[in-house]
Amino acid sequence: MEIHQLQYVVEVAKQRNFTRAADEICVTQSTLSHQIAKLEDELDIKLFDRNSRIVFPTEAGEEFINHAKAVLATLEVAKQSVLAYRKLLKGTLRIGVIASLGTIDYANMLAQFHKEHQGLNFEIVQDGTYSLLEKIRARELDVAFAAVASQEADEDVAFYHLAYDDYVLAVPPGHAFAGREYINLSEAAEERFIFQPSSDRMHYTCMEACAEAGFKPQIVCQSNHSPTCLALISAGMGIGFFPREKISGQKLAIAVVKLKQPVQKNIVLAVGKHFSLSPAVVAFNRFVIDWVQALRLEER
């Protein structure tokens, strides 16, 4: 069994296609197929089921692929460690992000980190919190900026609090709430809502806030695309919860109403607990914590 065979197996599982996998790792399809067939012969078990269009891991293949990922991750840590000793921090940092991170000045933070570590490449994946946490567990991401409940705990992922993001209600300009600075959320019990999808942790935070206010929201649309949601609200289709920073600077005709009962997004840095962190990830984690602390000092 050879390291490149493990890489081939993991890539085929990811692409579900031999041709695409071969293109990604820059080998011929015949070489890829031969090496996987050779590995299956050595293990005396089938790792993939194949048809003319797609490739599926077998049950044994799924388990082997998980072990292969762990071996490759360990090798990458060893490689990164050697490079760090030579003060050449190289490699790829895989970062997951939720849609709204303005309160921690995410773009400038990442740009500054890259300026200090220009040997690093970055892969950035935007998704909902639950999907990002699954990618952390599967070692498909190194870290993720996510939103979780304030006291939330996970046996596989560590959460480092970064900031709170206050949510407000976005309403059409002619709405009865539009001229008010604050409302009790219970006053919105009969309203139609534009909501985040259920893949977003804030979907449940906002649902819980409505439940505490004594009602179940009438949801007429769900979308993770904020411009679409705001456009629908501006057009009068409903009202919606949004982070305050997400609405600031919007050109759409929208009124902002604050809530007397705070609805907050707890922004955290999520990191896997049970596997070794590369020097790049350790450096990034330290940088993020220092960056957020500096922002808090500037706000005082």
Half-sphere exposure of 208 (CA within 13 A, CB side): 11
pLDDT value of position 69? 92
Could you give the CA distance from residue 218 to residue 208 in angstroms, rounded to a whole number? 14
pLDDT value of position 266? 86
The CATH class given to the 86-161+267-299 domain equals alpha beta
Question: Cα–Cα distances in Å, from 157 out to 12, 94, 139, 143, 268?
Answer: 27, 16, 11, 10, 11
Could you give the CA distance from residue 247 to residue 13 in angstroms, rounded to a whole number? 41
Strand partners for 144:
96, 270
Q: Are strands 264-272 and 157-171 parallel, antiparallel or unpaired?
A: antiparallel
Chain center to CA of 156: 16
pLDDT value of position 80? 76
Single-letter residue type at 62: E
* CATH topology agreement for domains 86-161+267-299 and 163-265: yes
Whole-model pTM: value is: 0.66
Per the rule left: phi > 0, alpha: psi between -120 and 50, beta: everything else, 48 is: beta
pLDDT value of position 88? 47
Q: What are the DSSP calls for 209-239, one per residue?
A: HHHHTT---EEEEE-S-HHHHHHHHHTTS-B
Angle (CA) 198 203 209, round 5°:
145
For domain 3-82, give the CATH number: 1.10.10.10
pLDDT value of position 144? 95
CATH 3.40.190.10 fits 163-265, yes or no: yes
pLDDT value of position 124? 94
Contact by Cβ (8 Å): 169, 259: yes
pLDDT value of position 89? 60
Tens digit of each residue's pLDDT, the chain (300 residues): 888 889 999 998 888 888 888 998 899 989 988 999 999 999 899 999 887 678 889 999 899 999 999 999 888 888 877 766 555 466 788 999 987 776 788 889 999 999 988 888 899 999 888 899 999 999 999 999 998 877 777 889 999 999 888 889 999 988 999 989 999 999 999 999 999 888 888 888 899 999 999 999 999 999 988 889 999 999 999 999 988 777 766 677 889 999 998 888 888 999 998 888 888 888 899 999 999 988 877 766
Is residue 143 classed as helix, strand or coil in its secondary structure?
Answer: strand
For the chain, the domains span 3-82, 86-161+267-299, 163-265
